[in-house]
Structures are given as structure tokens and as C-alpha cells.
Amino acid sequence: MSLEELLPAHRAKSRAWSIFIRTGLVLSILVVALTIPFFGLVMSLVGSLLTMLVVYSPSQYGC
């Protein structure tokens, strides 16, 4: 589910709201990346942990 799907129906079809939400997300990630030292390493760690969770979780349940 994306943030754009959470908008009310009359605003969901507006391209301006879509651009506003996407721009806000990019700017918030930029602020976090500039303020947290070694942000790239943190994102790599999160990505690798989530990948391991996705790969090994179904194998434990016999899928």
C-alpha cells in the first residue's frame, strides 16, 4: 500500500497531490541522510536484514 492510496477519493486523482507526496518523501529521506552519519551503511544493514527475513521465513514454514 502506498501513501497515495490513503488519500481521500477526491484528492487521490489529483496529480498535484501525488507530486507533493513524492517530493515530501524525497526531501525527508534527504534530511535523514544528511543528518545521520554513515546512512548508507545503515540502509545496507536494513536491506540485508529484510532480505534475509524474506528468504528464510518462508523456508521455515515449508513454502
pLDDT at 37: 87
pLDDT digits (tens, 9 = 90+) for 6-63: 777 766 677 888 888 889 989 998 998 889 888 889 889 999 988 888 777 666 666 5
Domain edges within the chain: 11-60
pLDDT band at 2 (very low <50, low <70, confident <90, very high): confident
pLDDT at residue 23, rounded to an integer: 94
> What pLDDT score does 1 carry?
60
DSSP sequence for 15-56: HHHHHHHHHHHHHHHHHHHHHSTTHHHHHHHHHHHHHHHHHH
pTM, to two decimals: 0.55
Of residues 35, 3, 39, the one with CA closest to residue 22: 3
pLDDT of amino acid 60: 64
